[in-house]
Structure 1
Amino acid sequence: MYTILISISTSLLAALLVYYTTYSIVGSVLVMGVVLILLNYLIGKSILKKLTTVFKDVESDLKNNRFEKAINRLKDAYKYSKWQFFVKEQINSQIGIILYMQRKFDEAKGYLDKGFSKNWMGMAMQATLYFKEKNYDKVKSILEKAIKNSPKEGFLYSLYAYFLVEMGEKDKALEVLVKGSKKAPLDEKLEANLEALKNGKKLKMKNYGALWMQLNIEKMPQGIKPYHMMLARQKIRRR
């Protein structure tokens, strides 16, 4: 990554300059450390600012139904992946989500499979695609990874439990919901699902509104446009 290369090379040069000027090893090491940290921070902050602008523009495009423009804008942002780790994966997740919302599931899958493991909505969509293919082992591995990376997102526990019930694994579904209730104790929808399953009733996934409907497991009612909410809940990460 360019950020690391620039930070290391510049800090090394600064350290050598200090050493040959003062012949102080301690001073050289201190200067190298300060320059390394400072440059890494400043460059990273600059790239993050540019990515934030891109994502805001993408959000505006989606609200105005300019889907192709949004995707092209994201693809153009691939250039920043040479500067920071995980930028490409985050962009892949967002492109995959947009394609999924357009019901271009085959295209979406290619991007989601190469997406960011901390983008829990992308992971939820990826798991749903594999569920529809009846690749249940893949569904489990994806959602377990998603929960590990986003342990306080109650929706993930409910979704995982829903899939497990459909797979005929009610006991495991109950274990997942119990675990979720401990990690996300304020999620009333999750608690409602836990109580429903304990009482032998169906999970109330519709309580999650657009979060649930945008997975296209059930037909989405007219008028729902979850694009704004979908992107607003995602965070750009430097690491």
Structure 2
Amino acid sequence: MYNLLISMAVGLVTAVIFGMIFGVGSWKILYGSIPGLMVFVGAYIWLARRSLQQIQALGEQAQAQLQARNIDRAIDIFKQGYPIAKWQFMVEQQLDAQIGTILFVSERFNEAEPYLKTAFTKNWTARGMLGVLYYKRRKFDEMEEAFEVATAANKKEAILWNLYAYCLWKSKQRDKAIKVLNQAVEILDGHEVTEKNLKALQNNKKMKMRSWNQLWYQFHLDRMPAQRQRAQFR
């Protein structure tokens, strides 16, 4: 928010100054409008980039803590970014997505829920986790609503469509799952795994999700095979 207001103020001052200069002492907005607009855009891009760089720096620090398995410390680092949300739009939603994802992966589902609800809609992982959370709680209406929002904002994420269909199928709504995958096949245009899962459901067979590896296992809907678990820690 502050970045936008500052940029508008700088752009307005520039417009007034150029309007006075080129208006030969009498202010004319037409003369200052283009320079003012250019300064506004340039200032906003610079300020927004500065805010995002600050968030990226926090992300790198948090990632280091996650690698050391310091979950709560990583979350605390991300929370340090909330004051930046006053300066730049969508920062709070992005931080919520990161924190919610960490908590969900850590199976701290109750703590994760409020963050996942307000997560950035373009963060398909966080939004998918919200849908899975409702599935686990058998809140199927809320589950569908969450997945509809997620897929609308992330239409090209094949695993998200399959995750949606999987939750519908496991909640005994096979016809709805088939409908979702039919829609996905049209949008994704030839995605092999999606087409195979669609045919499986049409033939009353099981969906197969393990080809997505860790992207799939992070949703806690399936156990990673013991052999693969051992390979991760070698």
Q: What TM-score do the two structures reach when normalised by structure 1?
A: 0.88
Distance 1:142 1:75 in 2: 24
Runs ≥4 residues deviating over 4 A: none
1:72 aligns to 2:76 (yes or no): yes
Distance 2:78 2:114 in 1: 15
Matched residue type, 2:110: D
Match of 2:181 in 1: 177
Q: 1:136 aligns with which of 124, 134, 140?
A: 140
Matched residue type, 1:103: E
1:105 aligns to 2:115 (yes or no): no
Structure 1: 5+ residue runs without aligned partners? Answer: 227-239
Partners of 2:159 and 2:212 within 8 A in 1:
yes
Kindly tell me: are residues 30 and 225 of structure 1, through their superposed partners in 2, closer, same or farther at Cα, counting changes over 3 Å?
A: farther
Distance 2:231 2:64 in 1: 13
Distance 2:133 2:22 in 1: 62
Q: What TM-score do the two structures reach when normalised by structure 2?
A: 0.90
Structure with higher Rg: it is 2
Partner SS for 1:130: helix
Match of 2:19 in 1: 19
For each residue in 1:46-68, what CA deviation from the matched residue of structure 2 results, as whole angstroms up to 9, or x when unmatched? 11222222222222221221212
TM-aligned CA deviation for residue 135 of structure 1: 0.9
Query: Over aligned residue pairs, what C-alpha RMSD do you find?
Result: 1.9
Distance 1:160 1:123 in 2: 11
- Larger RCO, structures 1/2 (Cα 8 Å, 6+ apart): 1
Structure 2: 5+ residue runs without aligned partners? Answer: none
Partners of 1:14 and 1:31 within 8 A in 2:
yes
Partners of 1:189 and 1:208 within 8 A in 2:
no
Map 1:210-225 onto structure 2 (within 5 A). Answer: 210-221=214-225, 223=229
Kindly tell me: are residues 162 and 82 of structure 1, through their superposed partners in 2, closer, same or farther at Cα, counting changes over 3 Å?
A: same
TM-aligned CA deviation for residue 214 of structure 1: 1.3
For each residue in 1:80-136, what CA deviation from the matched residue of structure 2 results, as whole angstroms up to 9, or x when unmatched? 111111110110011011011111110011211121111111011111111111111
Match of 2:127 in 1: 123
Map 1:1-239 onto structure 2 (within 5 A). Answer: 1-23=1-23, 24-221=28-225, 223=229
Q: How many residues align?
A: 226
For each residue in 1:26-84, what CA deviation from the matched residue of structure 2 results, as whole angstroms up to 9, or x when unmatched? 22111211111110111111112222222222222212212122111100011211111
Partners of 2:165 and 2:180 within 8 A in 1:
yes
Distance 2:231 2:110 in 1: 21
Partners of 2:3 and 2:88 within 8 A in 1:
yes
TM-aligned CA deviation for residue 221 of structure 1: 4.7
Matched residue type, 1:21: I
Partners of 1:210 and 1:224 within 8 A in 2:
no
Distance 1:216 1:123 in 2: 15
